[in-house]
Amino acid sequence: MAIYADKNSKGQLTGRWRVELQSGGKRYRERHDTVQAAKADEARVSAAWAAGLEVGKVVKRIDTRQGTKAVETLQEALKAARGHLWRGIASEQGCWAHVERIVRLLGPNRKLNDLVTTDIDDLIVSLEIGGDVAPGRVSKQKPFVFKPASQSTINRYLSSFHTFIDWCTSRGMRPTGAKLEFAWRDEDAGRIRWITPDEEALLYELLPPAIGKFVHVAIETGCRRGELRTAQAHQVQLNRLNLWDTKTDKPRPVPITPAVSQILHELIATGMPTFSELRYHWDIAREAMGLKDDPNFVLHACRHTCATRLVEAGVNIRVIQAWLGHARIETTMRYTQVHDTMLNGALEARLQHSGAICARKSGGAMAWGSKRAKRLDNRRSGNYVTSRFPAGVAELVDAAGLGPVVERRGGSSPFARTKLLNTNCFLTFEH
């Protein structure tokens, strides 16, 4: 079906429906107030074209065949790709912003066929430096202000441009044999920043009500910013948010509470905040909280917070992966960082587990200070056992019934006997 929810230039849903059809070099575009009207128009145009008739509002297709002069420059290719690439997905606006900036850096009048790998290398340098004009180029337009991009951000730019170039090549705008090599950057996993309960409460006090509600829903659901902004009323149920347009192009359900469901309906009815509104008010709140110099305190930290709280609640890692919509479990592992309290709890559980195993091995209560363990320690010349283990471990080993086994096996040297004891100890306590 060639019917899509209409959006404005800011990526906001307009409430109208768009019909887009193409056949035999012709394209048809029209907007309607209801989905029923859009479906009826689609059927009318399809029937007319099948009968060989012409219909109104036909947009002539841009000829992109190789050898023609219809599309030669980056700017022309940019116009030709509009309405095709990333259409309808949550990250559509961000991907186009990446490509538009790259076109400005490389030069709008740069010919597609003239692009070489060294241009991609220069592009990476330009992104690392910042700004909106490549080194050595003079722009007649007022340059935008861009901060130096991180390695991960550069990869996002390269990914969008790589998709754009592939689209142009597959449609004959570039020779198929003229491949560009992209020097992907090594990304540092970095620090996963989550929002503490005190920080969350302060955010709600500083942010406007609509922005505060959006942040609350983002923390509760772990959804990406674009996924929430494009959500529609029919996707929101009492206990579930159904996401159709996701980063991985795979729909997924997200569990929600009735309270979150109500807030979502309110935001959709009044209009979701724009990207610029979210960024503007978040930066003001961050500065008021004294976190202006914390580069990791960004809106995406709401997603980190949801993942971390799921881990703290003991939710299975595979369930968290499905909740967040990650294609790879490694991505989920990066989000699910642990606190010191969780580490301490893991240590306590491990010690209890080890103690239970040792008690079963010894047939009763642990004999931490048994005379037998002391005799074993005294027979070791140079005190090899206690010099290689913390105090008390030698007694623990003997209490588990390993002392006689070590003595019977012996060894060619005191070091060999100690090594045998070390191995037996770890085999015993790990099972």
**Which alpha helices (DSSP H) does 132-257 contain, by range?**
151-170, 197-206, 209-221, 225-229
Q: How confident is the model at residue 187 (pLDDT cuts 50, 70, 90)?
A: low
Of residues 44 and 199, more confidence is placed in 199
> In the predicted model, what is the mean pLDDT of residues 139-150?
62
Maximum Cα interatomic distance, the chain, rounded to a whole number of Å: 104
Third-level CATH fold of 197-338: hpI Integrase; Chain A (1.10.443)
Strands (E), 143-265: 240-243, 252-255
Q: How confident is the model at residue 1 (pLDDT cuts 50, 70, 90)?
A: low
| Alpha-carbon distances of 169 from 65, 113, 124, 211, rounded to whole Å | 10, 10, 21, 42
Q: How confident is the model at residue 207 (pLDDT cuts 50, 70, 90)?
A: very high
Of residues 310 and 18, more confidence is placed in 310
Query: Which H or E element spans position 202?
Result: helix 197-206
Q: How confident is the model at residue 170 (pLDDT cuts 50, 70, 90)?
A: confident
Contact 80, 64 (CB under 8 A): yes
Place of tokens 């079963």: 360
User: Which string of b and e fits 107-134 if b means at least 16 CB within 10 Å?
Assistant: beebebeebeeebbebbbebbeeebebb
Q: What is the pLDDT of residues 232-282, one digit of tens each?
A: 999 998 899 998 767 666 788 999 999 999 999 999 999 999 888 999 999
Strand partners, 153: none
Contact 211, 278 (CB under 8 A): yes
Determine the pLDDT at residue 213: 95
Residues 6+ apart with CB under 8 A from 419: 411
Determine the pLDDT at residue 343: 64
pLDDT over 90 (residue 218): yes
148 Cα distance to chain centroid: 21
